[in-house]
Every structure is written in C-alpha cells, then in structure tokens.
Amino acid sequence: MLQVIAEIVRAARQQLIFCLAAICCLLAPAMQAQEPEPDDPPPEAVEPDTTDDESWRIQAENKASIADGMFRRGWYEMAAREYLELIKKYPKFEGLPRAYFNWAESLRYEKEIDQALTVYNQLRHHFPSHKLSHQAIVNVMNLRLEMDDPEGALKLLQEAKPEDMAPPVREALHYHAGVVYNKTGNMDAAKREFRKVANLPLGDDPRFRIYARLSLAYIHRHLGEIDAAEKLFKELSDFADTPLELRQEVLFRLASLATLQKADEKAVKRYRTLIDEYPDGDFTDQARINLGWTLLRLGERSQEIIDLFQGAKQQGPDALYLQGVSCKHLKRYEPALAFYDRLAAFGKSEYYEFAEFDAVECLYHLGRHGPCIERARSFVNDYPHHEQAANAFYFMGQSHVELDQLKEAATAFETALERFWGKWQYQEDAVMILADIYIRSRELKKAAATYRRVMKIPASKRHFEALYTAAECEIHAENYAQAFKDLSLLYETFEGHEKAPEVLLHMAELKIQISAPKEAIKILDRFLEKYPEHEFVPRARYRRGSEYYRQGRTNDAIRDFRVCVRVPTFDERNLARLFLGYALWETDQEDEALAIFADLLQSEELAGDFVPELLAQIGRRYMELNNFASAETAYTLLAQSDDSGHRLAGSLGLGKLAFQRQQWDRAYDQFKLIRDRTDKTSNFHAIAIAYLGETLRQLGREDEAFIVLKDAIDMKIQNLRANTIAYLAIARLYYKRGKLRPAMSHACFVWFRCDDPVYTPLSMLFTIEMLLGDNALEKAMMTYKELSSRYPLVLRAYENDPQHAELFAKLQDIEAAPEQ
C-alpha cells in the first residue's frame, strides 16, 4: 500500500516538473532582460516567505530540480534562466553554489562566454571555499585559453590555492597551468606542472593524466629530449584506455621519434603498426607517406614502397613521387614515367622538379635519347640552379654520345663543368667522360688537357689515372715533349705509388720511341738500380738490351737478354730470345743462335700467341741462311694470323720463299693473290708485282711479265730487293727484244743506285754480258773490275758456277790478250 502511494506521489511530482518547464518556456522571452551582463552585480535577492521554512525549501528544491533537468537534457538557454530565477528568489538556498556553477556552464555551452565568465566569478566571490569555486577557476582558465588569453589565465592561476582543492580539481588545475606556461614560453614551469599530473598513475579517470603525459612528451620532443618523450608516448600507446584518436597520434609520434633517432627499422615497424590498426585513421595517410620516405632512405626496399600505396585512397604528390622513384630504382622505367606524369597534374608541387629530373633519367635508360635530350634541355633552362641541373646535363651529354653526336655531347659536359665546377658531386666522372669523348673525336690534345683537369679536383682519387692517361693521349698525338712532362710530373708526385715503377719505365720507353737512346738508357739504369726486385725488371732489361743492340754494344745487350730469357713468365721472352739469337749470331756464336731460332719455330707458343712481327723476322733470317724449311714454317704461321696485314706479310714471305727456291708456280700463286687483294697504295702490292713480274718471266710469259714490271717500276718501289728484281728483270726482257739501250739503262740503274748483296752483283754481271755482246770490251772489263772490288766473295762464287763459265772464259781471254 505504501509503495503504491509513493509511486503516485513520484508521478505527480514528475508531472509538476514538466508543467513548470512548460511555463518557463512560455516565460523565456520575458526573462531575457534578467540575464546578467559580464560586469553586473550579483542578482538582487527576493526575500521568500519564511513563515513556512519547509514550504520555500521545497519550492527551491523543485526549482533546482527543474533547472537541473533542463541542464541534463541540453536545454542550456532555458536552464540558464531557471538558475537565474532560483538564485534571485532563494538567496539562502544551500544549493546555490551548484546553481551558479550550472548557470555558468549553461552560458558556456550557449557560447555566451563573457556572461559565463561573470557567473563563474560571482560563484568564486560568494563561495570562495566551495569545491565548485575551485572547479570554476579551472573552467575560467580553460575559457581564457580558448580565447587565446594565456596572460589572463596566468593571472587567475596566481590566485589559485591548489592545496585547498580536491585531487581531481587539483589535477585539472596543474594540467591547465602547464598549458598556460607552455603558451607563455615558460617551458621549465610547464614541465613542472605537467609532471605533477603525468607522474600520477593512469587510473579510472585518467583524462588529465593522459593529456598531461602527451603535452609533457611534446615538450621533451621540442627540447630534443627524445628518450624522455619516447617513454611517455610509449606509456600512452600501451595504456588500454587511451582514446583511439589519441592513440593514433601517439603511434605516429613514436614512429617520428624513431626517425629522429635514425632508428629507421624501428620507425618502419611503428608506422606499419599504425597503418595496420587504423587503415582509415586521421594519421594513416601521413604515416604511409612517412613510411615510404623511411623505406626509401633504407634502400633496396622499393617494392615495399610500391606495395604500400597499392589500394591507398589518396594518391597525392608524395605518394606518386615515392612510387615513381621506387619504380625507377627497380629499373621499371615505363611505370615510373607514368607516375611522374600523374604527379605533373598537381602542378608545380614540392616534388615536381625532382620528378622532372627523374623522368630525364628514365628516358635515358629506356634508350629514348632524343626525348631525353629535349626534356633535359627544358629542365636545365627552367631550373638552371637546381641541385640536379648538373646531372641533367650529364644525361643529356650521354644521350648525345649514344646518338654519336660527339660535338653536342662535349658541349653538354663542358657547360655542366663550367657552371658547376667545385659544386658537382660527379664532376670527376664528367671530366673523365668528356676526355673519352675527345678521344673518340680524335681530339687527343683536348683529351689530354681534359684529363689534366682532374688534378684540379683536390678530393679526387683518380689523379694518377688521369695524368697517366693524359700522357698516353699526348703520345698518340705525337706530342712527346708534353707526354714526357706529364710522366715526369706523375713520377715526382706519386713516387711512392705502386705503379710508379711502371711510370718510370714508360718514360724510358717514350725516350726510345723518340729515338733518344742515351736518355732512355739512363732512365733504365735508374729503374734497375731503384727497383732491382720489381716484376718489370725483365722488361727493363729487354728495353735496355735492345738499345744496346741498336748502338752496337752487343755484349752488353747479350747480358741483358740472358736475364730476360731466364724469366719464363716474361711476356716478351720470345722477342728477347730472338734478339739474343741475333746478337749471338753477330758475335760468331752461331750454334747457340741457331738453336734458339729452331726452338722458337717449334714451340706451341709461336704457333698460337707469338707476335707476328717475330715470325716475319724469323722467316726473313732463315731465308738469308737458306734454311728454307724453317722459313716456310714461320711464314705459314704468319699467313694464318687473324690480322689482314700480317696475313699478307705471311703470304708475301711464302711467295719470296718459293721464288728463292725457284718454285715458280707456287710463287706466282702467292704474288697474284697479294696483288688481287691489295690496292695500289699498299707496300705489299708494289713488292708483290715486282716479284710477280720476274716470276712470269721465269715461267716464259714474257709479254705479261713486261706489262707487270713496267707497272712495278712506275710505282717507285721503296723495297730495295723488290726494286732491284724489277729493274733487272725488265732489263733482261728489253735485251731479249733486242733493245740494248733500255736494257743497259735498267741494268745499270741497279748497280749504280742500289746495293743489294744478291741482285746488284747479278745486274753487274748482266751488264758485262751485254757489253761483251756489243763488243764494248773495255767497258766490260771496267765493270768486271768494279764487280771484283765491290763483291769479291760473290764474284768467287760466280766464277765457280758452271752457268757462268762461258762468260768468265771470255773475260779471261780478254784479260790475257795483249794490249793493241
């Protein structure tokens, strides 16, 4: 029964509250004038009827209940009026502090900030020790901060007494104090205030403790106290009740701190955690971009970057550039260009210039050299001072090189070096490439001068290489004085370099090349004295021995050559053996010399890798010794050479060998082959047709022989033996045709102008024969006496030859006949 009555009373009371609320709504316009102004005094009290204390108290409680109900429902404007009326009508009501506080809160929610501040101040004035007054201080500070008035908040803070406040309010006060000090630039005070809250354990109501930790972490980060900041951020990320939005921010900051600490792998892990846990979060897009940059710094993570942005909703300039540069690093140049083109649609963004340069590089690697040149030219014109401008010139120049536009390539590199000298990371490489371009253009002096520019780059590690190559260019340009100057400077500058001995030896070889044997020998003596154990000692000995040999110091040459041939790994050992054989032959040590020559011909090395020049010399030497078998082996090997010039030399040698053996058909085949395969300007051609003419004469094909020999003589052959053969052969043909005068002229030319040990004596003998036939006995005897004087040994051989017996018998008869 009592329960039913209580329910009825409660329902009636609730109905009364709704009725009063409706009345308040109707009266709201009339109450607007009663709202306090910011500086108004407290509401004027209306004395209630105190005849029945219980009655007015019940009315006040009901009034407060109605106002509280409106406040809870968010009817702040109506609640404010109710609280105002309550305060005015019931000044002795014990619930006034709450009424003042909720009135101020209602005004704050309605954005009536100035009025709210006034009510908060009235609360503090009337009830300074009440807990809601303490809360009012915190709320006013918050409002002042929202109004960007930290100075006003700081003034209020100085009036606060934290020791009188309840712990939750005190926490709020310290937190707001930290914010105030932070905004006014007093970092130490801010840290102190935030720490008072941050040091408290995260409990059931951790709101201010969370944000105090967050704010303190930001201060530590700002001051460079990374470890302290990381500790606070980590604590917030691990706390289960950290708000989700705030946790995203904390994870993002933790990753950023790892980047500051250069702990890129840790940063990668933290960014991935944020992206995986909050794929659509407020910080996710930026985290994805930051992760992309971190992976790019780590290198060799390009595919991860591309995968990172797959399916991403936003594809801004950062994302497009990162994907483009990653494709470029993976040598996927077509997709990279596509990303850069999409980036261009955003206009000239932060990465536009870099993307334009990367596009130049992609075009180069794709082999689109024309478009690469155009885009590079546009880039350097639009951004002449860009950090990649020099590299754009580099790709422009290289593209010109690929198109064989060497002049334009040189111009590109010269321009880049002129503009960016001393500021370009790759200027050393550019100088070396430019020098190589000049070499390809056959501008060797320019190439050498360009290589010398490397010496003006103090940090270069290629000084030795550049100066050495400059010297080689000068040698090929036949500028030997400058080449020797470069080598001398190189040796003086890098005397302790591992290749210094090679430079010194090169200096000696250069002196040999310019026919300065005495200077060469001095340098070689210096080399052998300073580097007695060096690997190039055999080479130096060989060079010095060769110079000794040329100067006629044969015994000194033999000593050096013997040192060379005792080193089995010496790459010119066989040449040294050859010259040793020559020297031994000339000093009458014939047996040892012949053994060396025979061994050289039989060695496998000679058949494979032996230098062709050596084969030619061996063949010629054996022909002089009438060792035709060995000569044929040498010339056959030479004729099998890969080089056309050497093949011709071998064929010519085989032809001469057949000629000397009087194997006229074989000789004809070889000489005709050479004639047909060479042009008239070739020395091989002239020599071959001289021998071919005599061969045709020996074969009885005299008309053909005459035509060929006329051509040979008209060529003014430089080879002595071939020249004498041609003149003597055509002389015999003229004589056979009964033309004594031209026959005599050509025969005399040989022994008047030439000194060939074989054909000069033969031409003199033929002249004698023609003079005897013409009955010019006195001239014949004069020629005979000159033959006896010039070639006594040859004459003795002729006298013992039955072929010339009749001729010498006539000469003896003439010599024995009494003078008339």
Tokens of 753: 């102008």
Q: Over 60: is that where the pLDDT of 525 sits?
A: yes
Closest CA to 788 of 805, 808, 816: 808
Res 799: pLDDT = 84
Res 11: pLDDT = 42
Residue with tokens 């005397």, as numbered in its chain: 495
Asked if residue 121 belongs to a domain, the reply is: no
Asked if residue 66 belongs to a domain, the reply is: no
Say if residues 194 and 219 touch (Cβ distance below 8 Å): yes
pLDDT class for 614, splitting at 50, 70, 90?
Answer: low
Q: What confidence tens digit (pLDDT) does each residue in 749-758 have? A: 988 888 888 8
Arithmetic mean of pLDDT, 441-464:
90
First CA to last CA across the chain, in angstroms? Answer: 195
Q: Over 50: is that where the pLDDT of 703 sits?
A: yes
Q: What confidence tens digit (pLDDT) does each residue in 643-663 have? A: 888 888 888 899 989 988 999
Closest CA to 142 of 177, 171, 90: 177
Asked if residue 794 belongs to a domain, the reply is: yes
pLDDT class for 683, splitting at 50, 70, 90?
Answer: confident
Residue with tokens 């009326």, as numbered in its chain: 85
Asked if residue 469 belongs to a domain, the reply is: no
Q: Over 90: is that where the pLDDT of 350 sits?
A: no
CA distance to 16, 69, 94, per residue, from 58 (Å)? 13, 16, 12
Cα(355)–Cα(339) distance, rounded to whole angstroms? 9
Contacts of 464 (CB under 8 A, 6+ apart): 490, 494, 497, 499
Res 531: pLDDT = 92
Cα(757)–Cα(743) distance, rounded to whole angstroms? 21
pTM of the predicted protein model: 0.56
Cα(469)–Cα(452) distance, rounded to whole angstroms? 9
CATH number at residue 697: 1.25.40.10
Asked if residue 737 belongs to a domain, the reply is: yes
Q: How many CA atoms lie within 13 A of 69 on its CB side?
A: 16
More confident position, 11 or 326: 326
Q: Over 80: is that where the pLDDT of 610 sits?
A: no
Res 37: pLDDT = 44
Q: Over 50: is that where the pLDDT of 6 sits?
A: no
pLDDT class for 611, splitting at 50, 70, 90?
Answer: low
Instruction: Quote the distance between the C-alpha of residue 250 and its chain's center.
Output: 40
Closest CA to 418 of 440, 446, 389: 389
pLDDT class for 196, splitting at 50, 70, 90?
Answer: confident
Res 555: pLDDT = 93
Say if residues 64 and 84 touch (Cβ distance below 8 Å): no
Res 53: pLDDT = 63
Res 409: pLDDT = 92
Q: Tally the residues of the chain.
A: 820
Tokens of 392: 């754009």
Cα(631)–Cα(640) distance, rounded to whole angstroms? 15
Residue with tokens 């309605």, as numbered in its chain: 110
Q: What confidence tens digit (pLDDT) does each residue in 14-58 have? A: 443 443 333 333 333 333 333 444 444 445 444 454 445 678 888
Say if residues 614 and 638 touch (Cβ distance below 8 Å): no
Cα(324)–Cα(340) distance, rounded to whole angstroms? 6
Q: Over 80: is that where the pLDDT of 331 sits?
A: yes
Res 16: pLDDT = 35
Asked if residue 110 belongs to a domain, the reply is: no
Q: What confidence tens digit (pLDDT) does each residue in 375-412 have? A: 999 999 999 988 899 999 999 999 999 999 999 999 99
Residue type present at position 153: A
Say if residues 727 and 746 touch (Cβ distance below 8 Å): yes
Residue type present at position 627: N
Q: What confidence tens digit (pLDDT) does each residue in 761-811 have? A: 999 999 999 999 889 888 989 998 998 888 888 888 888 888 888 888 888
Cα(673)–Cα(654) distance, rounded to whole angstroms? 11
Contacts of 31 (CB under 8 A, 6+ apart): 81, 84, 85
Percent of the chain's residues with pLDDT above 90: 32
Q: Over 70: is that where the pLDDT of 426 sits?
A: yes
Res 332: pLDDT = 93
Alpha helices per DSSP H over 603-682: 604-608, 612-624, 628-639, 644-660, 664-677
664-677 vs 644-660: helix crossing angle, rounded to 10: 150
Tokens of 292: 């992309």
Rounded to 5 degrees, what angle do the CA atoms 541, 576, 628 make?
165
Say if residues 230 and 242 touch (Cβ distance below 8 Å): no
Average pLDDT of the chain to the nearest whole number: 85
Q: Over 50: is that where the pLDDT of 2 sits?
A: no
Cα(369)–Cα(568) distance, rounded to whole angstroms? 51
Q: Which residues of 478-494 are buried (b: 16+ CB within 10 A; e: fewer)?
A: ebbebbbebbebbbeeb
Res 414: pLDDT = 93
Res 605: pLDDT = 59
Tokens of 365: 């690697």
Other Cβ atoms less than 10 A from the Cβ of 428: the count is 18
Res 10: pLDDT = 46
Q: Over 70: is that where the pLDDT of 9 sits?
A: no
Tokens of 214: 């967050």
414: exposed, middle or buried (C-beta count within 10 Å: 0-12, 13-18, 19+)? middle
Q: Which residues of 348-381 are buried (b: 16+ CB within 10 A; e: fewer)?
A: ebebbbbbbbbbbbbbbeeebbeebbebbeebbe
Asked if residue 780 belongs to a domain, the reply is: yes
DSSP 235-260: HHHH-TTS-HHHHHHHHHHHHHHHHH
Residue with tokens 């606070």, as numbered in its chain: 232
Asked if residue 503 belongs to a domain, the reply is: no
Res 124: pLDDT = 84
Q: What confidence tens digit (pLDDT) does each residue in 471-521 have? A: 999 888 889 889 889 899 988 988 888 889 989 998 998 888 888 889 999
Res 290: pLDDT = 92
Number of domains in the chain: 1
Residue with tokens 């036949």, as numbered in its chain: 478
Instruction: Quote the domain boundaries for residue 759.
Output: 662-816
